[in-house]
Homo-oligomer: A and B are copies of this chain.
Amino acid sequence: MTLQRSKPIVDQIKPILKDRIRNKVYPPGGRLPSESDLADELRVSRATIRSVLAQLAAEGFILRRQGDGTYVNERIHDIESRYGGWNFLHLIELNGYSSSIKPISIEQRKVSDVEADWLGVATDTSVTSIERLFAADDIPVIVTINVIPDSILDGAVDLADEYLPIDELLKKYCDEDITYAITDIDAVSAEKSVIKELKRTIDYPILKLTETFYNKANQPVAFGLSYYDHRMLRLRLVQPWG
């Protein structure tokens, strides 16, 4: 195991430890080696190890107890099924289903009022809208509509890229990196347009996620509306306290 200088050491070590947890080299509920031991083994400073462990703790993978040790959180075997990060395909797989994605439409059109508001653009702005359906074991569970202003889009979106998550689309077509996202969560009765895609009976509520994505310059670069059938796929948050 050799560490390269090109990539941050932290980003190289994190997947190593994640793999060890996944492969039960460090078994569920079991203790990890001490910071010093890990630092020695991986030939890095203790501060670097600490930085990695802090990230894993923030994500809930490990629990740290002063004077005691660092332990694998056995309750979070499916921790990546939590909200945040946002790759629906991955999310579905991690919940034990086979995932598939079905493009519904790609079109250029004027923004809606809601979209213009969140994106902070004029109401006659042209956008590219991508509507997609995610299925778990071929059962439709999520419908998403993503909207990107044409002004930042570098060319038309290739139909072959319909499966790409929003952050990769932005990277590929706008060279934009998402810095953070704001999500509002609502409960809604399944509207007719949505019901059609989700193929469910009309009378039970689903979750509506209203997302806005910002770049490094703090400008909104994309907007998303997702209808989420939580009966198949739980929307789960892990919140470190304090």
Interface of A toward B, CB cutoff 8 Å:
29, 58, 60, 63, 65, 71, 73-75, 83-84, 86, 167, 177-189, 204-207, 213-214, 216, 218, 230, 234-242
Contacts and interface: CB of A to CB of B under 8 A. Distances in A.
Contacts of A189: 204-205
Say whether chain A's binding surface is mostly helix, strand, loop, or mixed.
strand
Given A75-B218, A181-B241, A240-B179, A230 B84 contact: no
A235 B184 contact: yes
Contacts of A75: 182, 214, 218
Contact of A188 (B29, B182, B187, B238): B187
Nearest to A185: B235
A229 to B, nearest CB: 9
A185 B180 CA distance: 21
Contacts of A71: 218
B188 A205 contact: yes
A236 B180 CA distance: 13
A183 B239 contact: yes
A237 B185 contact: yes
A57 to B, nearest CB: 9
15 contacts: A29-B218, A58-B58, A63-B218, A71-B218, A73-B218, A75-B214, A178-B241, A180-B238, A180-B239, A181-B238, A182-B236, A184-B230, A185-B230, A185-B236, A189-B204
B241 A184 contact: no
A63 to B, nearest CB: 6
Most chain B beta carbons < 10 A, residue from A63, A179, A187: A187
Contacts of A177: 241-242
